[in-house]
Chain A
Amino acid sequence: MNTQTSSDVVTAAMPDGEIILLHGGTRQYFSLNETASFVWRLLEAATPAERIREALIESYDITGEAAGDALNELMRELEAWRLICCAETRAS
């Protein structure tokens, strides 16, 4: 099952590449840094976790292990704030 962005979340893109998220249920605001914004855009496009990991490797010149760790950590944060759902799938 792919990870999905929560339907309760409203987004706004800022000129510095960051994305602002508003969770309608909790009414909390968040700003995503450049990397998290990069991942968020892919999540919005329903990109599988493995493909996101590959995109991180390509775009940020990091190892597969580092990309997987960073992605898993980010997914846990997003999940904890209820910004994504159905996050059973983890990057390897």
Chain B
Amino acid sequence: MSAVNRDLKINHPYSVSYVLCGAGIRLIGDASDPLAAAAWTIEALFPVRFAHVLPLPTFQIGIHSQPEPDVDGETVMAVPGFLAVRTGTGYHLRSGTSWLAVNIREGFASGSLSSCFLTAPLEDRRGLFLMAFLLLFAGSGRYALHASAVAIGGHGVLLAGASGSGKTTVACALIRAGWDYLSDDAILLDQCSGVTRVSALSGPFHLTPNALRHFPELLVGAFTPPSGGKQLIDMSTAWPGRFIREVEPTAILFPEITRAESSRLIPLRPTEVCLGLLATGAGLLADRESMAGQTAIIAELSRSTPGYRLLHGADAHRFPETLADLIGLTLGEKPAGRTHEYANQF
């Protein structure tokens, strides 16, 4: 919170500035308490860093005390506690009694946060800001994927798939084996000069109690109480110095949990990779331009990056180095001098 206070004194009366995924985020408000709570939420949940010089594009998020306007549009997402409506100017997001109106073209969001929202569990506050960021980035041609990302030696590996497929478990196994990490469930794609890069869009990892039993060393980084659901884990506490902000993907894996002892990889055709990524990365974007942009960048990634089904067995957490070697082979990385028998050789 100290950085917020510092900013309150130095800059605008009520503003905080960050960089997230190479873009500027300027948080402004008409009252210090809601702004500070919003800032704390963003700092806890997203890999932002403070900035006094903001790069372009810079998105502005205004937190004001204002009544929610009447909303007319197409509902594109309605899940318990969260609603997204496509409007004439962008999207209207509502979480409980809090809301943000996102203007994609102009690159700003504005709304009001209720006292209930500001005192709700951290994870319950994530959706509103995550969706706002996702939409704002989409307006500048960068698209989010529901995927984990890890890396070794400059090679990035994306782990894509539905919730419960084991993305986080595989990511944690690889990190335990010495890999670096970006994110466990949200990354941002963008292309520059024909090269696709991924950036970390989400901060803490989300681990189930069962996953935490396999990786007890992560408990030191837990900053939300166990509640039977997923716990938020600050990975830098358990594995400091391993976070990287962006990487070029070299392989795409679709994990599936199996009862086998050994993990194995099954190559996928580019079309299968593309459909798999689209299934995890789309849903909210409803305007044709955004959908076309998202589809194009995912198709290019699928064409240029080999993809595999990863049937991960018990070795994923018991012998993470085995899994790391198996995946490393797809990247051209040499196994680290061990003599395991791989279920699938390349």
Binding site for B on A (CB under 8 A): 7-8, 10-16, 18, 20, 22, 24, 27, 29, 31
B296 touches A29 (CB 8 A): no
B291 touches A12 (CB 8 A): no
Known: A20-B278, A29-B279. A10 touches B270 (CB 8 A): no
Known: A20-B278, A24-B288. A13 touches B299 (CB 8 A): yes
* Interface residue SS majority, chain B: helix
Nearest chain A residue, comparing its CB with the CB of B276:
A29
A20 touches B291 (CB 8 A): no
B279 touches A12 (CB 8 A): no
> Contacts of B271 on A, CB cut-off 8 Å?
14, 16, 18, 20, 31
> Contacts of B292 on A, CB cut-off 8 Å?
10
B269 touches A16 (CB 8 A): yes
15 A-B interface contacts by CB (under 8 A):
A10-B291, A10-B292, A12-B274, A12-B295, A12-B298, A14-B269, A14-B271, A15-B270, A16-B270, A20-B275, A22-B278, A27-B282, A27-B283, A27-B286, A31-B271
Task: Quote the shortest CB–CB distance from B196 to chain A (angstroms).
Answer: 14
- B49: interface (CB < 8 Å): no
Complex alpha-carbon distance, A20 and B300, angstroms: 12
Task: Quote the shortest CB–CB distance from B18 to chain A (angstroms).
Answer: 31
Complex alpha-carbon distance, A80 and B269, angstroms: 27
Nearest chain A residue, comparing its CB with the CB of B297:
A12
Task: Quote the shortest CB–CB distance from B270 to chain A (angstroms).
Answer: 5
A8 touches B295 (CB 8 A): no
B286 touches A29 (CB 8 A): no
- B302: interface (CB < 8 Å): yes
Complex alpha-carbon distance, A13 and B302, angstroms: 11
> Which residues of B284-311 are within 8 A (CB) of A?
286-288, 291-292, 295-296, 298-299, 302-303
Nearest chain A residue, comparing its CB with the CB of B284:
A27
Complex alpha-carbon distance, A60 and B302, angstroms: 28
Complex alpha-carbon distance, A85 and B275, angstroms: 24
> Contacts of A12 on B, CB cut-off 8 Å?
274, 295-296, 298-299
Q: A20-B274, A24-B286 are in contact. List 4 more A-B contacts (CB 8 A).
A: A10-B295, A15-B270, A24-B287, A27-B282
A15 touches B303 (CB 8 A): yes
Complex alpha-carbon distance, A16 and B274, angstroms: 12
Complex alpha-carbon distance, A24 and B283, angstroms: 10
> Contacts of B287 on A, CB cut-off 8 Å?
24
> Contacts of A22 on B, CB cut-off 8 Å?
278, 282, 291, 295
Task: Quote the shortest CB–CB distance from A81 to chain B (angstroms).
Answer: 15
Complex alpha-carbon distance, A30 and B102, angstroms: 30
Known: A14-B274, A18-B271, A31-B275. A24 touches B291 (CB 8 A): yes
Listed residue (A18, A24, A31) with the most chain B CB atoms within 10 angstroms of its CB: A24
> Which residues of B83-123 are within 8 A (CB) of A?
none
B302 touches A14 (CB 8 A): yes
Task: Quote the shortest CB–CB distance from A41 to chain B (angstroms).
Answer: 16
Known: A20-B295, A22-B291. A14 touches B278 (CB 8 A): no
> Contacts of B299 on A, CB cut-off 8 Å?
12-14, 20
Complex alpha-carbon distance, A20 and B279, angstroms: 12
Known: A16-B269, A16-B270, A20-B295. A10 touches B278 (CB 8 A): no
